[in-house]
Amino acid sequence: MNKNDIFSLQELKIRLEREKETSFKELQKQSIEYQKKLQEQLQESVQKVNSCDKIRFYSSLVHKQNQFECLYHSSILTLV
């Protein structure tokens, strides 16, 4: 091997290291973006579940109120 060959090999090695660093940084960036996207989806899902829980709760309250009103009217009719 001559000096030119050694220099060329060193250049290739340096280029390869730079490409590895660039690829690694790009992969990290993509990973962070993907994590953010998953976090947003999780938050949306939690909000939907919370909304459904609220709807169920208020529906239950309305149902109980309706039952109470029916019992109340029944008892009034019984008294009359």
And the tokens for 35? 């994590």
What pLDDT is attached to residue 80? 59
Among candidate residues 74, 76, 75, 72, the one with its CA nearest the CA of residue 64: 72
Kindly report whether the global pTM for this prediction surpasses the value 0.85.
no
Residue 3 pLDDT grade (very low, low, confident, very high; cuts 50, 70, 90): confident
Report the pLDDT averaged over residues 23-42. Answer: 95
pLDDT at 38 over 80: yes
Residue 79 pLDDT grade (very low, low, confident, very high; cuts 50, 70, 90): low
pLDDT at 37 over 80: yes
